[in-house]
């Protein structure tokens, strides 16, 4: 049996199909995954993301340490509550994890990492802290749980649960920033391409919050819908689209690597500088839209005439676009069209720049035979 979140009983009571995800027993859907997906795009959905790991980095050296640890530069974070997406790299430039880091104050940053990499991340971060002789406390916040409430109506639903004195400030939060509302840390972040909040709150309070939001008409959504939503939003999934064997420059994540200032010596920098000096990454991560019937899946082979081969890293049927979409790692010279080997048949796919969908709207033009 896997690890359980504090909402496990709620999921089972709602009839969720449960699956193992990174060692956690998590809901995949509560009935129809496609319906859950649409509810997030059109109204509001709620996800139990308590399997993700909240780590507080506290101490005078916290900013300096994170500037060494992370490929993005936490010096971009100057206002309390502001968030930054970053990769954490090994010395070879391989992606150990992707994460969000929040700036709380000069002696306190909060890092949220993936469930499947929780233990290895903690070991890595603590080992690097010792190596750097940093004066830090690295605290795994097992006392916190986490909800994601996403969709055009999500923020309004969440503020109804807050103290009246916090509501206005919560609604005024800019994208990628958060604030404390009582003991809840409420941030305008997410993994769906929709507006919404992610909430970190005391473990014993999540059940009441969940029930209140579900009673207010927010749809419980499982990991299935979370995956189709994030893929439509063009967001990478750690372990699928990148891992330790891939660097950010071949994973569609060059935008998250802060090479400036040149003096900042983050872990993995040397390796990435070598890639750049050699003329850049030989592969790239692109979006694909299947121009035939069928479903793109991870590990299907991508053939690019006159160029070579690539591989799909994440693929699914897009409920919003009603066609199949994917992320694929292909040779850098890949042009506008490719073929994908689906069970021995070669089907045409168009190369696009993700995201596919943002805030409920298609961002790519669809081919003649869909919509």
**Among the candidate windows 102-110, 143-151, 252-260, 289-297, which touches another protein by CB under 8 A?**
289-297
DSSP type of residue 26: E
Asked if 343 touches another protein (CB under 8 A), the answer is yes
Asked if 320 touches another protein (CB under 8 A), the answer is no
Asked if 366 touches another protein (CB under 8 A), the answer is no
Minimum distance from residue 32 beta carbon to another protein (Å): 6
Q: Which residue has the tokens 């941030």?
A: 187
Asked if 32 touches another protein (CB under 8 A), the answer is yes
Nearest to 250 by CA among 283, 272, 277: 283
Which of 151, 252, 319, 354 is in the footprint of another protein by CB under 8 A?
A: 319
**Among the candidate windows 45-53, 90-98, 269-277, 313-321, which touches another protein by CB under 8 A?**
313-321
Minimum distance from residue 154 beta carbon to another protein (Å): 22
Pick between residue 29 and residue 283 the one whose CB is nearest to another protein: 29
Minimum distance from residue 325 beta carbon to another protein (Å): 12
Pick between residue 266 and residue 317 the one whose CB is nearest to another protein: 317
Q: Torsion angle of alpha carbons 345, 349, 351, 357, nearest 10°? A: -120
Minimum distance from residue 150 beta carbon to another protein (Å): 18
Minimum distance from residue 75 beta carbon to another protein (Å): 41
Rounded Cα distance, 103 and 277, in Å: 33
3-state secondary structure of 121: helix
Which of 5, 10, 33, 72 is in the footprint of another protein by CB under 8 A?
A: 33
Long-range contacts from 99-107, C-beta under 8 angstroms, 24+ separation: 99/70, 100/189, 101/66, 101/70, 101/74, 101/77, 102/77, 102/178, 102/185, 102/187, 103/74, 103/77, 103/78, 103/79, 104/80, 105/80, 106/60, 106/62, 106/63, 107/58, 107/59, 107/60, 107/62
Pick between residue 93 and residue 234 the one whose CB is nearest to another protein: 234
Tell me how many degrees the CA angle 45-48-49 measures, rounded to the nearest 5.
Answer: 115
Site for another protein in 228-257 (CB under 8 A): 228
Asked if 42 touches another protein (CB under 8 A), the answer is no
Pick between residue 36 and residue 98 the one whose CB is nearest to another protein: 36
Asked if 10 touches another protein (CB under 8 A), the answer is no
Rounded Cα distance, 181 and 185, in Å: 6
Q: Cβ-count burial of 90 within 10 angstroms (0-12 exposed, 13-18 middle, 19+ buried)?
A: middle
Which of 43, 295, 352, 362 is in the footprint of another protein by CB under 8 A?
A: 295
Rounded Cα distance, 84 and 96, in Å: 17
Rounded Cα distance, 194 and 46, in Å: 12
Site for another protein in 258-287 (CB under 8 A): none
Pick between residue 283 and residue 316 the one whose CB is nearest to another protein: 316
**Phi/psi at 266 (nearest 5 deg)?**
-80, 155
Site for another protein in 189-208 (CB under 8 A): none
Binding residues for another protein, how many (CB under 8 A)? 18
Rounded Cα distance, 336 and 346, in Å: 16
Pick between residue 283 and residue 313 the one whose CB is nearest to another protein: 313
Rounded Cα distance, 368 and 371, in Å: 8
Minimum distance from residue 192 beta carbon to another protein (Å): 15
Minimum distance from residue 315 beta carbon to another protein (Å): 10
Q: Which residues bind another protein (CB under 8 A)?
A: 17, 28-29, 32-35, 224, 228, 293-295, 297, 316-317, 319, 324, 343
């Amino acid at each position: 049996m896997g690890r359980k979140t504090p909402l496990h009983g709620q999921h089972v009571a709602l009839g969720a199909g449960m699956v193992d995800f990174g060692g956690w027993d998590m809901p995949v859907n509560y009935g129809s995954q496609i319906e859950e997906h649409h509810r997030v795009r059109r109204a509001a959905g709620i996800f139990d993301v308590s399997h993700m790991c909240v780590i507080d980095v506290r101490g005078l050296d916290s900013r300096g340490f994170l500037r060494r640890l992370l490929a993005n530069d936490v010096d971009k974070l100057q206002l309390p509550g502001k968030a930054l997406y970053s990769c954490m790299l090994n010395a070879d430039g391989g992606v150990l994890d992707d994460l969000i880091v929040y700036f709380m104050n000069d002696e306190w940053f909060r890092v949220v990492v993936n469930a499947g990499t929780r233990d290895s991340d903690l070991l890595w971060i603590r080992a690097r802290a010792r190596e750097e002789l940093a004066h830090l406390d690295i605290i795994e916040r097992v006392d916190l749980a986490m909800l994601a409430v996403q969709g055009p109506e999500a923020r309004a639903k969440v503020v109804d649960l807050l103290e009246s004195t916090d509501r206005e400030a919560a609604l005024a939060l800019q994208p990628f920033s958060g604030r404390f509302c009582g003991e809840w840390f409420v941030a305008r972040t997410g993994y769906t391409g929709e507006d919404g909040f992610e909430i970190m709150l005391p473990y014993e309070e999540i059940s009441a919050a969940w029930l209140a939001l579900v009673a207010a008409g927010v749809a419980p959504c499982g990991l299935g819908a979370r995956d189709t939503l994030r893929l439509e939003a063009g967001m990478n999934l750690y372990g699928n689209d990148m891992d330790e064997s891939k660097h950010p420059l071949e994973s569609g994540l060059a935008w998250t690597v802060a090479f400036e200032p040149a003096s900042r010596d983050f872990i993995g920098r040397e390796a990435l500088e070598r890639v750049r000096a050699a003329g850049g990454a030989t592969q790239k991560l692109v979006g694909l839209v299947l121009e035939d019937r069928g479903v793109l899946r991870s590990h299907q082979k991508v053939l690019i005439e006159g160029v070579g081969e690539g591989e799909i890293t994440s693929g699914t049927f897009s409920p919003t676009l009603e066609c199949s979409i994917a992320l694929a790692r292909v040779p850098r010279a890949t042009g506008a069209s490719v073929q994908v080997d689906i069970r021995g048949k070669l089907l045409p796919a168009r190369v696009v720049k993700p995201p596919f969908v943002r805030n409920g709207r298609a961002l790519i033009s669809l081919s003649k035979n869909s919509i």
